[in-house]
């Protein structure tokens, strides 16, 4: 039997006077990349035994990296974490994240958010629209055992809220109910897009796959289409000789050009 710790009780062993100086919250044995530049008290190590329940990190005002993957955390409060750059909270049981509350016109420094394999209720992607510096956004579910237990992320709706994330390189929405908005994807830096159904045959992501395949003129359907959407690398079929992301990027750019031309014609 795996021993678990109440997440907040564990955190309460960290004195309030120390919390404002912590810059990295990491699993035991991990070292930050700039370790030589940090004093010992800057790193708070997370125990190996799973943490469960809610975790309030709102008073960690200097934290830049949080890695709490593989626990049983259900709610995460990041209200005061205005310097946070990297959040790695995949493989938990998260149902809610309270995001940093920024002062005035402060632009969020977040560059990476990984919430893969959690338990978020039905909601759209609007909460991510303000994170304009994001490079990596991973929101899907790829753990089929979790899905069979009805534990998975239920993001739905359109990709439109991500349209101003111009630094985005990686996007994972596998197994979700996002069904539209490919034309809004920021493609400047885009290089990795994963949108398989992860075995959820009823997932609305299948609609996104089919509509995109139709728009691209791809002659693949069903499991073959899903394999293509799930694959982060290249596809071997001669009809899909280009990289997946390149195919999508070219279509989006063409679509936007066409829409611009139509707009000019109507003026």
Q: What is the pLDDT of residues 172-206, one digit of tens each?
A: 999 999 999 999 999 889 889 999 999 999 999 99
| Tokens standing for residue 72 | 């049983």
E strand or H helix that includes residue 244: helix 244-266
On whether both 85 and 184 belong to a single domain, the answer is no
How do residues 99-141 score in pLDDT, each as one tens digit?
Answer: 999 988 899 999 999 999 999 999 999 999 999 999 999 999 9
* pLDDT score at 219: 85
On whether both 32 and 92 belong to a single domain, the answer is yes
Q: Is the pLDDT at 2 greater than 80, yes or no? A: no
SS3 call for 68 = coil
Distance CA 169, CA 189 (A): 5
Q: Is the pLDDT at 39 greater than 60, yes or no? A: no
On whether both 15 and 56 belong to a single domain, the answer is yes
Distance CA 78, CA 133 (A): 18
**The model's pTM:** 0.92
Q: Are 56 and 37 in contact (CB under 8 A)?
A: no
On whether both 51 and 174 belong to a single domain, the answer is no
Q: Total domain count for the chain? A: 2
**Could you say which of 64, 89, 104 is where a domain stops?**
104
On whether both 259 and 217 belong to a single domain, the answer is yes
On whether both 72 and 122 belong to a single domain, the answer is no
On whether both 99 and 120 belong to a single domain, the answer is no
Q: Is the pLDDT at 22 greater than 60, yes or no? A: yes
Domain that holds residue 89: 1-104
On whether both 77 and 179 belong to a single domain, the answer is no
How do residues 54-108 score in pLDDT, each as one tens digit?
Answer: 999 999 999 999 999 999 999 999 999 999 999 999 999 999 999 999 988 899 9
**Could you say which of 79, 104, 129 is where a domain stops?**
104
On whether both 118 and 222 belong to a single domain, the answer is yes
Dmax over Cα atoms in the chain, in whole Å? 69
**Could you say which of 104, 119, 134 is where a domain stops?**
104
On whether both 66 and 116 belong to a single domain, the answer is no
When pLDDT is cut at 50, 70 and 90, the band that residue 239 belongs to is very low
> Residue 46, exposed/middle/buried by CB under 10 A (0-12, 13-18, 19+)?
buried
On whether both 100 and 126 belong to a single domain, the answer is no
Could you tell me what percentage of the chain is helix, strand and coil, using 3-state DSSP and rounding each to the nearest 5? 30, 20, 50
């Amino acid at each position: 039997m795996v021993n678990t710790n109440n997440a907040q009780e564990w955190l309460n062993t960290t004195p309030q006077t120390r919390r404002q100086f912590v810059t990295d919250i990491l699993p035991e044995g991990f070292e930050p990349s700039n370790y030589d530049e940090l004093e010992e008290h800057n790193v708070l190590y997370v125990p190996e035994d799973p943490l469960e329940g809610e975790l309030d990190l709102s008073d960690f005002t200097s934290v830049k990296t949080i890695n709490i993957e593989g626990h049983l955390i259900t709610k995460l409060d990041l209200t005061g974490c205005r310097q946070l750059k990297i959040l790695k909270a995949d493989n938990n049981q998260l149902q809610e994240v309270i995001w940093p509350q920024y002062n005035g016109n402060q632009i969020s420094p977040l560059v990476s958010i990984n919430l893969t394999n959690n338990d978020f209720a039905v909601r759209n992607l609007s909460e991510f629209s303000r994170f304009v510096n994001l490079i990596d956004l991973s929101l899907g579910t790829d753990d089929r055992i979790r899905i069979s237990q009805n534990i998975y992320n239920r993001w739905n709706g359109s990709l439109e809220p991500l349209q101003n994330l111009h630094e985005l390189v990686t996007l994972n929405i596998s197994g979700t109910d996002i069904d539209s908005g490919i034309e809004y994807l920021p493609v400047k830096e885009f290089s990795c897009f994963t949108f398989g159904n992860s075995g959820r045959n009823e997932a609305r992501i299948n609609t996104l796959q089919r509509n995109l395949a139709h728009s691209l003129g791809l002659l693949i359907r069903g499991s073959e289409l899903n394999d293509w959407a799930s694959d982060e690398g290249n596809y071997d079929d001669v009809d899909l000789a280009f990289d997946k992301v390149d195919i999508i990027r070219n279509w989006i750019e063409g679509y936007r050009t066409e829409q611009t031309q139509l707009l000019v014609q109507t003026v």
